[in-house]
Structure 1
Amino acid sequence: MRVFAAADGSGGNPAPIVLDAVGMSDAQMRAVAAEAGHESGFVLPAEDASQADFRFRFFVPRHEMEMCGHATVGALWCLREAGIWRAPRARIETLSGVVEGFVRGSGSPSERIEITQPVGRVEPIVDAAVVRRIADVLRVPADDLLPHPVLNAATSRVKTLVALRSVAALDGLKPDFSRMEALCEEIGSTGLYPFAVESLERRIVHARQFPKSSGYPEDAATGIAAAALLFGLKELGLVPVDDAEVVVHQGRAMGQGSEIHVRFHRAADGELLGCFLGGRVVADAHA
């Protein structure tokens, strides 16, 4: 699948999905991800059918992940297409906990899969020397950094949010990948997620994801990072907690322009429950 595809169906992040992974070993799952060179999702029966409908596992070429947003969305789309998932919602066991999945706008041109994520945890990186090292690894001039704190944010895996002055500055980044893993290890992050706001009024943001140790240098669309970014934008006072979507554009610098849709998840009384994360899924014609 290509998950979080743009409105015209182009781009998106490739996600190999195995709809029946019963009997597969960890090594076999990792081998699928290594051969494909992408995060891969594996569907299994729920360990406790009273608590969940499916269990998903996620592998990148080098290791297993607790959660992968685009592989979850892609797997649910496949289950829907195959007629295996027919209910209004699905409960999915992951190493990060139970995730719920829904179909939004069913039957309409804007139909997409959404999944839930919990309330994000956000922590500023206050050590100026560490912030300088982050900028150095990104190879971003000081003038291109906005005067916002650099944030470690997470709804599952921690991503480091770095606010840049312009989309052009973001597109021009050429990081020092040889230092990426050591830096992320130092700051307790699984990847750097620099971003630039195109329009706060229209809630359009651009971002790039440079993972710590996934086996490839850049990711075309990272749902978990976009969910973390939503709570980072809230922390920075850039977006209010309301029902409007934030659209995160990612992958353009790779020629795989993607669109990730995130919005806050609130109870009827307004209590913040987390967020919804979703986007378009298309079958990969080259698979």
Structure 2
Amino acid sequence: MTTDASGTSPVHHAKPNTQILRYAAFTHDPAGGNPAGVVLDASGLDDAEMLAVAAEVGYSETAFVTGRDDAARRFRVRYFSPLAEVAFCGHATVALSVALAAQLGPGEIVLDTPAGDIPVDIRVDDDGTALATLTSVPTRSRPATSAELEATLKALHWAPEDLDPALPPHVAFGGNDHLVLATGSRARLADLDYDFEGLTEVMRRHDWTTVHLVWRESAERFHARDPFPVGGVVEDPATGAAAAAFGGYLRTLGLVTSPARITIRQGEDMGRPSDLLIDVDPENTRTRVTGRAVPIVQGAGDVGRY
């Protein structure tokens, strides 16, 4: 531990022997998707050291395995952004699961997370890339209040008429809370220039992990962007936790009347295209989220903090 320039505040650094893997999730291309750090043995790290690792990696999330039972294929996991711990992270779950499959082989595993148990099924596709399908904790969704909506629109520099009236604003949960806002045009979604500090304050006040901005291309295909200022990054290129929550949103609104697979395209506007698949069943409160993950070779696609 060292001190900052003032000589008063402690600054932790990652232990030099900590092995950090880097994966891009929800893509087959290391230059796409959402990068995540993965630490397969964090049993010797305390909270401050895990936060230091996440900050030095600089990605939106790093997953830490703090306990493991390889025989039972059960793993205790925590997630840290560069600024704080979060209860659940979907893209880091996909990255971690693929990394574990490289050690243990494909099949089913269970992750014991602060949000609850997350079963994950990992398989290898015909082209040799690994896919992971996580099953979320039970989802829920409620209408956003007028105060929540007004403050968020102000921080986003959006107007009420930018919203799609057929998809009302909701606060949706799939391991953590996300405000879901649907816009009526792809152009509005592409033009994202928000007040970083202002949105951070709103999100901290309501304990939201991201604001999940979506545009509906069709009933089976949506485009999304996820501001993540509370995690220290402007935007997430693929947000599995928000996708899980969005599945609950669609189910709550009755927009899925039979089991359906929906594609969410994210990250395109920031040059890191990502594809997230969600399976939503109107009779099941849990969302299944599927995505690929591929290793990142440092110096080739290792984008650091956005």
In 2, Cα distance between equivalents of 1:74 and 1:112: 9
- Which residue matches 1:263? 279
The residue that corresponds to 1:251 in the other structure is 267
Instruction: Give distance in 2, aligned partners of 1:107 and 1:212.
Output: 35
Runs of 4+ in 1 over 4 A off after TM superposition: none
Kept in 2: contact 1:43–1:54 (CA 8 A) = yes
Distance in structure 1 (CA, Å) of the matches to 2:254 and 2:269: 27
Within 2, Cα distance between the matches of 1:219 and 1:205? 16
Mapped to 2, the partners of 1:150 and 1:94 lie a distance apart of 28
**What is the rounded CA distance, in whole Å, between the counterparts of 1:165 and 1:63 in structure 2?**
33
SS at match of 1:272: coil
TM-fit CA distance, 1:271: 4.1
Residues 44 and 55, structure 1, Cα contact 8 Å, conserved in 2: yes
Q: Does residue 155 in structure 1 map to residue 174 in structure 2?
A: yes
From 26, 35, 43, the equivalent of 1:14 is 35
Out of 267, 290, 294, the residue aligned to residue 278 of structure 1 is 290
**Does the Cα contact within 8 Å between 2:248 and 2:286 map onto a contact in 1?**
no
Check conservation: 2:229, 2:235, Cα contact below 8 A: no
Identify the residue that residue 69 of structure 1 maps to in structure 2. 90
Aligned to 1:98: 117
Within 1, Cα distance between the matches of 2:101 and 2:106? 9
Conserved? CA contact 2:117–2:137, under 8 Å: no
Structure 1 unaligned blocks of 5 or more: none
Whole-angstrom CA distance in 1 between matches of 2:288 and 2:31? 22
Q: Deviations over 1:128-157 (max 9, x none)?
A: x43222212111233321113210001111
Separation (CA, whole Å) in 2 of partners of 1:107 and 1:225: 25
How do residues 103-118 of structure 1 correspond to structure 2 at under 5 angstroms? 103-104=122-123, 106-109=124-127, 111-118=130-137
Query: Which residue of the partner structure matches residue 13 of structure 2?
Result: none
Q: Look up the SS of the partner of 2:120 in the other structure.
A: strand
The amino acid across from 1:120 in the alignment is: T
Identity of matched residues, %? 33
Matched, 1:138 2:156: yes
Tell me which of 195, 205, 213 is aligned to 2:230.
213
Instruction: Provide the secondary structure at the position in 1 that maps to 2:42.
Output: coil
State how far apart, in whole Å, the 1-side matches of 2:52 and 2:258 are.
Answer: 41
2:203 counterpart SS class: helix
Aligned residues: 274
Alignment partners' CA distance in 2, 1:58 and 1:101 = 16
Gaps in structure 2 of 5+ consecutive residues: 1-22
Q: Verify the 8 A CA contact 2:170 2:180 in the aligned structure 1.
A: yes
The one-letter code matched in structure 1 to 2:246 is: L
Hey, what does 2:62 align to over in structure 1?
A: 40
TM-score normalized by structure 1? 0.87
Residue from 199, 208, 233 that aligns with 1:180: 199
The answer on whether the counterparts of 1:46 and 1:93 sit within 8 Å (CA) in structure 2 is no
CA contact (8 A) 1:140 1:173 kept: no
1:13 partner letter:
N
Contact 2:27–2:273 (Cα < 8 Å) also in 1: yes
Helix, strand or coil at the partner of 1:218? strand
The residue matched to 2:234 in structure 1 has which SS? coil
Which SS does the other structure have where 2:236 is aligned?
Answer: coil
- State how far apart, in whole Å, the 2-side matches of 1:9 and 1:34 are: 21
CA displacement at 1:86 relative to structure 2: 3.3
The equivalent residue for 2:51 is 30
CA displacement 1:85-138 (0-9 Å, x = unmatched): 33621111111111111024x3424751111102311010132x4322221211
